[in-house]
Structure 1
Amino acid sequence: MELQRLDPTIQLDIRYATTKNFAGRAVYSQARAFLQRPAAQALVRVNQELAPLGYRLLVFDGYRPWSVTKLFWDVTPRDKKEFVANPKKGSRHNRGCAVDLSLYEIATGREVAMTGAYDEMTPRSAATYAGGTPEQRALRDLLRHKMEQNGFTVLEAEWWHFDFRDWKAYRIQNVPFEKL
């Protein structure tokens, strides 16, 4: 399911369709985000629960073709491999059951500041990183709490990465966005 078709208030910042990402080049031809239907519907619920608190979801990535996972593995330095999926095992993104996201403030339309930046390959990315400001940690923890209440689990190395509970039920795919 395409996320914005389900809920147009979910904002997208698909950096992998630009050069503003750790690969340094566009790896997607389109700035779109997809998830398996149950994961997408759960994400819509999270977005709805955040609205009364003044926030909405900002999605960086959802379904990712396997070929992109392989490219990420190949361009990532050995000491940073914990931040990318091994293509031999595939990624939960390849199954359409992982999403990378943050929050944006409804009043300003701007992304909120978290303890670390999206795709930052440092200890600041950890889901339990103790640094940053109290507000940054509170917003990170709010995101995690709402996601976990709706069937997602955070990846401990990346505060922004969440896997949907039924990811094992879906196969690894390598379908480009144009064919979805």
Structure 2
Amino acid sequence: MKKTFFLLLVFLVISCKSTYLDAKKSPVLLDINKETDDNAFVNLKNYSNDFVFDMKYATTDNFLNEKVYPCGECFLRVKTVKSLLEANKAFLDKGYRIKLYDCYRPIAIQKKMWKIVPNPTYVANPKKGSIHNKGGAVDITLVDSAGNELNMGTKFDFFGEEASHNYLNLSEEILANRKFLKEIMLRHNFKSFDSEWWHYNLTNSSADAVSNQKWRCED
């Protein structure tokens, strides 16, 4: 009986540890190509200084009106980071860079979102899970060399037809900006999401497992 209890305790301790991702920053940039497990979760900030981060769910500036991430980290699977780095290089060559609003999202947060907006056009049903919950999705826009966001016609997380790639009643500038973002992302192993100009899924990432790992913030 004591042995069974001890083994159960060890299992619980290991399980608790495994549910957290480490947000500690590396003192030097790491090489994503040296990561051997494409499905492992890593922090994008450890692999590049060329992104802009505005992690909305680590603030109250989101449709939940609530801070639901402990801090603004961007965790993704290694294979997602590899493709995202290549896409950002393509943008950098043209004088722009990716600005991130959201990356990996624990399924517990997905459930909160679904309670507020139970509409699968805009929020994935947590019973199935979002690609965000699998570490294969990013919510992004572009900024120019001065850090100014390109005009995409709506704000991030705008729930309306104007946010759709199929909505064409927009200025030539907005349509060109959306096309620019979409074309380069599609060339680098991502798929667009029709109702949200900002949302991109890594190709074939839907087969990955949903995760509920959270992260501890660096002191």
**TM-score category, normalised to shorter length:** over 0.9
Q: Aligned pair 1:22/2:63, yes or no?
A: yes
Deviations 1:24-76 (Å, cap 9, x if unpaired)? 11111110111111111110111110112111000101100000000000011
Corresponding letter in the other structure for 1:164? L
Q: Aligned pair 1:83/2:122, yes or no?
A: yes
In the alignment, the residues of structure 2 paired with residue 110 and residue 31 of structure 1 have an alpha-carbon distance, to the nearest angstrom, of 20
In the alignment, the residues of structure 2 paired with residue 176 and residue 155 of structure 1 have an alpha-carbon distance, to the nearest angstrom, of 25
How many percent of aligned residue pairs carry the same amino acid?
Answer: 31
In the alignment, the residues of structure 2 paired with residue 141 and residue 7 of structure 1 have an alpha-carbon distance, to the nearest angstrom, of 25
DSSP-derived class of the 2:169 partner: coil
TM-score in terms of structure 2 length: 0.77
Q: Aligned pair 1:149/2:194, yes or no?
A: no
2:138 aligned to which of 99, 105, 108: 99
Aligned to 2:173: 135
Aligned to 1:178: 216
Aligned to 2:197: 159
Aligned to 2:37: none
| Range with greater deviation from structure 2 (11-20 or 126-135) | 126-135
Deviations 1:124-165 (Å, cap 9, x if unpaired)? 110122122211111111111111001100010101111101
In the alignment, the residues of structure 2 paired with residue 24 and residue 81 of structure 1 have an alpha-carbon distance, to the nearest angstrom, of 20
1:9 aligned to which of 28, 50, 57: 50
Aligned to 2:161: 123
Corresponding letter in the other structure for 1:145? E
Aligned to 2:103: 62
RMSD: 1.3
Larger radius of gyration: 2
| Structure 1 segments (4+ residues) deviating >6 Å | none
1:177 to partner: Cα distance: 2.2
Task: List alignment gaps of at least 5 residues for structure 1.
Answer: none
Task: List alignment gaps of at least 5 residues for structure 2.
Answer: 1-41
In the alignment, the residues of structure 1 paired with residue 93 and residue 120 of structure 2 have an alpha-carbon distance, to the nearest angstrom, of 38
Deviations 1:87-138 (Å, cap 9, x if unpaired)? 11011101000110000111x1121110221100011110122122211111
DSSP-derived class of the 2:216 partner: helix
Corresponding letter in the other structure for 1:105? D
TM-score in terms of structure 1 length: 0.93
Task: Tell me the matched-pair count.
Answer: 176
